[in-house]
Amino acid sequence: MDIGFIWDEDKYKEVQRKHNVQFYEVVSAFDDPDGYDGPDPQGHPDRWMFIGRSITDRILVIIYIPEDEEVHRLITAYEASREVSHGYYRRS
C-alpha cells in the first residue's frame, strides 16, 4: 500500500529555510528499508519519529502524525545528528 504525505505549506517553507530539507527527500526516506520508527522525542503522544536515508544520501529525522493508514501529516524534518546517524548505521 502506498502512503500519501501532507505538509502545511507555511511549515514546509520554514523547514526548507531552517533545515534545507526538500519534500522529495522526506518522501524518499520513508522508502528506506533500513529506516525505523520511534516515539516522538518531544513526548507528543500523537506524533512519531522516523529515521531513514533519503535519496540524497542524508539520514533524516522526520516527525509526523499518522492521519490514517494511507496518509502521514509531516510536522518537521531535519538532518540527523552525528549520534543519531551512528545509531542508524549500527541498526542496519
Does the residue 5 lie in any domain? no
pLDDT of residue 68: 77
Structural domain range at position 30 = 11-91
pLDDT of residue 1: 44
pLDDT of residue 89: 93
Does the residue 47 lie in any domain? yes
pTM of the model: 0.91
Does the residue 6 lie in any domain? no
Low-confidence ranges of the chain (pLDDT < 50): 1
Q: Give which of 90, 87, 33, 23 is closest to 56, Cα–Cα.
A: 23
What is the CATH classification number for the domain harbouring 15? 3.10.450.530
Structural domain total, the chain: 1
Does the residue 3 lie in any domain? no
Does the residue 1 lie in any domain? no
In angstroms, the Cα distances linking 52 to 10, 59, 90 are 24, 5, 13
